[in-house]
């Protein structure tokens, strides 16, 4: 970066991700064109499908809620320069926490169930991140590898629990029983109906959206307004400097992984409690990995994560519409996601160099 000149900070947080997304979209357009469809028609269909109705908005926001949680999880870890690739497994375990809370405790009201389920989800997610965190902090095991391994271990563990413990007698389906109706979370339709705003009743977007927005504030407050947050960022900037200033790397690593795992686990409140109302095998459906793209694009800042999560919510809902009306499969979204990760995370120097040149030219004039 030092060789490519300096970019003003505002440009680094806005222009670089924007250029990356534009590049990702352009390449995807080429792919759509290559398989014989019209990129422009596809984009129109996606925008209409995701934003053209309250039905579309509802799904966009539902997916975005998942991605806010997993995006924040990855972002907090990135602030300490830890790459938590295990959001998928932590969210799976969070789902187990939600299911246990909802199934085995009789709740009089959804609000109490929401609080307890959130705690259960965060606790289980954090516990699943604690082991890789501890191993990194105390034994120096590379956190990327251990969190990948823990994703697979989580999938096996959940498979075992669902098939052998939670599955109702006589059922062939590896899934838990349905949660009691008292744990049903209010949907956006129900919440907006109170103030008289009509909203489609179909999409599963629910009160977890507000929890997610609350978490954006909480993470911002933690990182930029607390002592621990300062230590996390200092550790991320320079480990030796942080250690010299009396910050314990092991302590920060473990705390960060606990927070990150807890945030990833919270995703289950939206997907397991808010939508499926029971625990199934593939409850997370890759949202943990999308958190990586969301955090990279959002430059590890809660505001950026929120905006990037909305963009990916749009891609998911728009992609579903696209699969419904054209011959373009949903997996196109995975390609776009891959390109966003590639350009914002791995090829960011390639994107940065021309921008830096442009600024250098302007300064020279």
Partner 1 sequence: MDIATIVQVLESTLRLATPLLFACLAGLISERAGVFDIGLEGKMLAAAFMAAAIAFVSGNVWIGVAAAVGVSVVMALIHGVASITFRGNQLISGVAINFLAAGITVVIAQNWFRQGGRTPSLSGDARMQRIDLPFAEALRDVPVIGPIYHGILSGHGLLVYVGLLCVPLTWYMLYRTRFGLRLRAVGENPAAVDTAGVSVIGLRYGAVAICGVLCGLAGAYLSTGLSAGFVKDMTAGRGFIALAAMIFAKWRPWHALGAVLLFGLLEALANRFQNIDIFGLALPVQAMQALPYILTVVILAGFVGKAIPPRAGGSAYVKEH
| Residue 247 CA to its chain's centroid (Å) | 28
Find the part of the chain contacting partner 1 (CB under 8 A) among 15-23, 148-156, 207-215, 254-262: 148-156
CA distances from 252 to 138, 232, 265 (A): 12, 6, 20
Beta bridge partners of 187: 206
Q: Report whether 101 contacts 289 (CB < 8 A).
A: no
Binding mask 255-294 for partner 1 (x = CB under 8 A): ----------------------------------x--x--
Residue 29, interface with partner 1 (CB under 8 A)?
no
Instruction: State yes or no: residue 129 binds partner 1 (CB under 8 A).
Output: no
Nearest to 74 by CA among 63, 85, 65, 64: 85
Print the binding letters for residues 313-332 with partner 1: x by CB under 8 A, - otherwise: --------------xxx-xx
Comparing CB distances to partner 1, the nearer of 253 and 277 is 253
CB of 124 vs partner 1, minimal distance in Å:
17
Among 13, 234, 335, 358, binds partner 1 (CB under 8 A): 335
Q: With CB under 8 A as the contact rule, which of the stretches 142-150, 183-191, 227-235, 309-317 interacts with partner 1?
A: 142-150
Residue 246 burial by CB count (10 A; 0-12/13-18/19+): exposed, middle or buried? exposed
Quickly count helices (H) and strands (E) in the chain: 15, 0
Kindly tell me which residue out of 11, 100, 153, 281 binds partner 1, with binding defined by CB under 8 A.
Answer: 153
Q: How many residues bind partner 1 (CB under 8 A)?
A: 48
Q: Residue 85 class from Cβ within 10 Å (0-12 exposed, 13-18 middle, 19+ buried)? A: buried
Q: How many whole angstroms from its chain centre is CA 97? A: 18
SS3 206: strand
3 state SS of 326: coil
Measured in residues, the chain has a length of: 365
Burial of 346 (0-12, 13-18, 19+ CB in 10 A): exposed
Binding to partner 1 in span 163-222, by CB under 8 A: 163-164
Pick the binder of partner 1 from 106, 108, 140, 246 (CB under 8 A).
140
Q: Near partner 1 by CB under 8 A, which window of 15-23, 50-58, 62-70, 338-346?
A: 338-346
DSSP string, 257-286: HHHHHHHHHHHHIIIIIIIISS--TTSSTT
CB of 330 to partner 1, least distance (A): 8
Out of 55, 281, 345, 359, the only residue in the binding site for partner 1 (CB under 8 A) is 345
Q: Identify the residue among 5, 141, 190, 281 touching partner 1 (CB under 8 A).
A: 141
Stretch near partner 1 under the rule CB under 8 A, chosen from 222-230, 309-317, 341-349, 355-363: 341-349
Which of 65, 84, 118, 146 binds partner 1 (CB under 8 A)? It is: 146
DSSP state string for 234-253: HHHH-HHHHHHTT--HHHHH
Q: Angle 287-297/249-268 helices, nearest 10 degrees? A: 120
Q: How far apart are CA 43 and CA 29, in angstroms?
A: 9
Q: Which stretch binds partner 1 (CB under 8 A): 30-38, 96-104, 119-127, 208-216?
A: 30-38
User: Is 108 one of the binding residues for partner 1 (CB under 8 A)?
Assistant: no
Our finding on whether 354 is near partner 1 (CB under 8 A) is: no
Positions that interact with partner 1 (CB under 8 A): 31, 35-36, 83, 85, 131, 135, 139-142, 144-146, 148-150, 152-153, 156-157, 159-160, 163-164, 289, 292, 296, 327-329, 331-339, 341-342, 345-350
């Amino acid at each position: 970066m030092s060789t490519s000149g300096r970019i003003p900070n505002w440009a680094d947080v806005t222009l670089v991700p924007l250029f990356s997304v534009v590049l990702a979209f352009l390449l995807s357009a080429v792919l759509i064109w290559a398989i014989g469809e019209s990129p422009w028609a596809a984009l129109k269909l996606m925008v209409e499908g995701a934003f053209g109705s309250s039905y579309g908005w509802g799904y966009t926001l539902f997916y975005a809620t998942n991605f806010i949680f997993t995006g924040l999880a990855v972002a907090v870890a990135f602030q300490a320069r830890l790459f938590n690739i295990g959001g998928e497994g932590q969210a799976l375990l969070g789902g187990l926490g939600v299911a246990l809370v909802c199934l085995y405790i009789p709740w009089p009201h959804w609000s109490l169930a929401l609080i307890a389920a959130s705690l259960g989800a965060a606790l289980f997610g954090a516990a699943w991140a604690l082991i890789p965190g501890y191993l990194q902090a105390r034994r120096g095991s590379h956190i990327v590898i251990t969190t990948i391994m823990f994703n697979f271990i989580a999938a096996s563990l959940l498979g075992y629990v669902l098939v052998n413990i939670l599955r109702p007698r006589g059922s062939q389906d590896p899934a838990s029983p349905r949660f009691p109706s008292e744990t049903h979370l209010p949907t956006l339709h129900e919440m907006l109906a109170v103030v008289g705003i009509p909203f489609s009743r179909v999409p599963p977007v629910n009160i977890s959206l507000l929890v997610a927005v609350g978490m954006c504030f909480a993470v911002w407050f933690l990182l930029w307004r607390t002592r621990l947050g300062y230590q996390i960022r200092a550790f991320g900037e320079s480990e030796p400097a942080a250690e010299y200033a009396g910050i314990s790397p092991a302590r920060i690593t473990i705390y960060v992984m606990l927070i990150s795992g807890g945030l990833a686990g919270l995703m289950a409140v939206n997907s397991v409690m808010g939508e499926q109302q029971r625990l199934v095998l593939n409850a997370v459906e890759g949202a943990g990995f999308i958190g990586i793209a969301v955090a990279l694009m959002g430059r590890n800042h809660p505001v950026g994560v929120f905006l990037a999560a909305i963009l990916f919510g749009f891609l998911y809902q728009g992609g579903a519409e696209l699969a419904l009306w054209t011959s373009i499969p949903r997996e196109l979204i995975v390609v776009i996601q891959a390109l966003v990760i590639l350009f914002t995370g791995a090829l960011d120097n390639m994107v940065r160099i021309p921008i830096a040149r442009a600024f250098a030219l302007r300064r020279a004039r």
